[in-house]
Structure 1
Amino acid sequence: MSAALRFGAAVLLALAAAAAPLATRAGTGAMQLPATGGDGPVTVFYPTDAPDRWARRGPFTLQLAEQAAPVRGNGRLVVLSHGSGGTPWVHADLARALVAAGFTVAVPLHHADNALDPSKPGPDSWKLRPGEVSRAIDAVGRHPQLAPLLSLDRVGMYGMSAGGHTALTIAGGRWSPAQMRRHCQAHIGEDFNSCVGLITQLRGGMFDGLKKTVALTALRGLVRDEAWYTHEDPRIRAVVAGVPYSADFDMASLATPRVPLALVTAAHDKWLVPRFHSDAVLAACRPRCELLAHLADGGHGALLSPPPPLDKLGEVAADLLGDPPGFDRRQLADVDQRIVAFLRKHLLP
């Protein structure tokens, strides 16, 4: 064998050896840690040698290795915080991408702001969510199979929409319900659904004035809390916020994030109008944060992958979460990889 052939064979053998651990990792494990205290269950996705099988979760059919034995990945945990009325399953594609890169992923079901119980969205939920994220880390750290495979001193976090609000809080932002009320008083016609959620929409008709008046009256009566809220968990060392609710933040508090911070934005977000939310955060935190991805043709629901079936949603939710005409969901695989790369950069040695 010539020297060139011997060198080529050696390179191929080295590549095969390097790839072997990935080749034996057949699936994305999934288990649910039980609810404890006032917290909901925590869904965990993780590396496993077991093969994926088709599993039905609500309206979604996913490939998962349910209850399979975990194996060691890269030793790092990422917590995902879902949006209002959300579930872990609408972030399954991102979770799979993270698991393929060796991460374990924990998704707490946020109290009274999830698909099973959407009764208390908004500030009531936002006050609880950061603590739920921290306790999800604790729950993983107590699990006899997962804990030995992880080092929880460098945890990542991703949050979308209301989960993005949670992400910004953990990144060092401070917010107040009163700031939300003041924002809505000033911009009710321009950012209506960030103030009222999915109750109704402005449609350019004769009832729009009444809708705005009723909304502001309700906000003045219900949102009186003037306190500022923060949350720090020193284990969380990198944060990504996707289309976050952020009009209630003191933007100066985000000028110097506590940890590396990145944003994913969508230009056609009708639920959280970018100039009041994600664009305002970017204006405050740059250059100490980064724009990880901008979906120039995406709406608020672009980062839900797989997306919820619109025919199962109400009319307002379907309009606010549906993809704008021409949006190509194939680009989301690249967005997921950018999130993976950001978290690898800041969490791995």
Structure 2
Amino acid sequence: MSDFVGYCAAQVADADLNLTFPVAVFYPTDTASQPETIGLYQLDVARDAAPLAGPFPLVLLSHGTGSSGMVHRNLALDLARRGYVVALPEHPHNNRDDDSWAHTAQNLQARPRHLQLAIDHLLTDARLASVIRPNAVALIGHSLGSYTALALAGGRPTSVSRTPADGPPRLIPVPAADARVRALVLLAPAIPWFLAEGSLRGVQVPVLALAGEQDEHIPPGFIQHVLNGLPDANRLDYRLVANAGHFSFLSPFPAARVSPQFPPSQDPPGFDRARFHQQELYPAIADFLGRLLR
């Protein structure tokens, strides 16, 4: 599609909670890219360049708890080069700089709504609205981001009772299924909130799910068990990635940040994260989305 990737930043408002949150957006452009420092990373992009005419499908990537959209920067760049507008929201109060909503009911309610608000914003953004296909949206989620994607696509989550004092499971209020969403990609999905009978019945879109064989946080057998609750097994493409860990789906980190003291940079012994991303992960996602959104 294009060798060059444009980048711009947006601020999305949540009037109900009186807050705003940032969204990094990557898209095809014919303006030459150059090294730019974005957050903690240096990327080859054309800052605030005019996008190509499009129209292009829209992909949103929902990061895991306490993380950042930029941990999926290489996937975003790859998809933008293939002809997608790719948005990386930073979930408020559940990111690397402010994780004050971690493990709260408020966070589980807010996350799907913030994806929806980001879609609404981008479809009216003066820079991008004219080049986005409004009914060709895909959601990609890692870990808790997969919960977020399923909840916006028609999943009806319930609370997880860890002690008797928690009482019986209760419905978590989330938006109704967003009809603009046409496909989901789930990476190392954290989804125990969809164990209740029928909680995934409303998810009517195709799902590509990848689980790490050596995931140290979420057993792959549990992931497959939960996803068996989807209404149509023929619309689920479930793949077990040999020897991958929970964080193996994040973009490889710069050498200076790779350390056993920084678990997101670590993989099981013998796993080549860079090779997996370039040779398996990005082509699999591009093929899946290309069949559904083109």
Shorter-chain TM-score category?
A: 0.7 to 0.9
Q: Residues 91 and 306 of structure 1 are in contact (CA less than 8 Å); yes or no, is this contact kept in structure 2?
A: no
Q: Residues 78 and 104 of structure 1 are in contact (CA less than 8 Å); yes or no, is this contact kept in structure 2?
A: yes
**Following TM superposition, by how much is the alpha carbon of 1:69 offset from its aligned partner in structure 2, in angstroms?**
1.4
Match of 2:226? 281
Q: Could you list the runs of 5+ residues in structure 2 that have no partner in the other structure?
A: none
Q: Residues 137 and 183 of structure 2 are in contact (CA less than 8 Å); yes or no, is this contact kept in structure 1?
A: yes
1:136 to 118, 130, 151: 118
| More displaced stretch, 72-81 vs 138-147 | 72-81
1:328 to 245, 255, 272: 272
CA distance in 1, matches of 2:54, 2:197: 37
CA distance in 1, matches of 2:133, 2:76: 19
Residue 344 in 1 paired to residue 287 in 2? Answer: no
Counterpart of 2:78, as a letter, is A
Change beyond 3 A, Cα 1:32–1:313: farther
Match of 1:154? 136
Change beyond 3 A, Cα 1:224–1:138: same
2:217 to 271, 284, 304: 271
The structure with the largest strand share of the pair is 2
CA distance in 2, matches of 1:62, 1:105: 15
Counterpart of 1:49, as a letter, is D
Residue 102 in 1 paired to residue 83 in 2? Answer: yes
For the pair shown, which has the larger CA radius of gyration, 1 or 2?
1
CA distance in 2, matches of 1:140, 1:62: 22
| More displaced stretch, 116-125 vs 153-162 | 116-125
SS of residue paired to 1:45: strand
How many residue pairs align between the two structures? Answer: 284
Match of 1:295? 241
**Following TM superposition, by how much is the alpha carbon of 1:332 offset from its aligned partner in structure 2, in angstroms?**
1.3
Match of 2:5? 28
CA distance in 2, matches of 1:322, 1:171: 31
Change beyond 3 A, Cα 1:289–1:255: farther
Match of 1:262? 208
**Following TM superposition, by how much is the alpha carbon of 1:97 offset from its aligned partner in structure 2, in angstroms?**
1.6
**Following TM superposition, by how much is the alpha carbon of 1:44 offset from its aligned partner in structure 2, in angstroms?**
0.7
**Following TM superposition, by how much is the alpha carbon of 1:56 offset from its aligned partner in structure 2, in angstroms?**
2.4
CA distance in 2, matches of 1:313, 1:165: 28
Q: Residues 34 and 46 of structure 2 are in contact (CA less than 8 Å); yes or no, is this contact kept in structure 1?
A: yes
| More displaced stretch, 339-348 vs 255-264 | 255-264
Counterpart of 2:11, as a letter, is P
Match of 1:40? 21
Map Cα deviations across residues 48-78 of structure 1 (whole Å, 9 max, x no partner): 1112222223432222221111112452111
Q: Residues 99 and 105 of structure 1 are in contact (CA less than 8 Å); yes or no, is this contact kept in structure 2?
A: yes
Counterpart of 2:271, as a letter, is F
Q: Residues 85 and 114 of structure 1 are in contact (CA less than 8 Å); yes or no, is this contact kept in structure 2?
A: yes
Change beyond 3 A, Cα 1:107–1:134: same
**Following TM superposition, by how much is the alpha carbon of 1:226 offset from its aligned partner in structure 2, in angstroms?**
2.0
Q: Could you list the runs of 5+ residues in structure 1 that have no partner in the other structure?
A: 1-21, 186-215
TM-score (norm 1): 0.74
Residue 113 in 1 paired to residue 58 in 2? Answer: no
**Following TM superposition, by how much is the alpha carbon of 1:81 offset from its aligned partner in structure 2, in angstroms?**
0.8
Change beyond 3 A, Cα 1:336–1:26: closer
Which residues of 2 match residues 206-225 of structure 1 at below 5 A? 220=165
TM-score (norm 2): 0.87
CA distance in 2, matches of 1:156, 1:227: 25
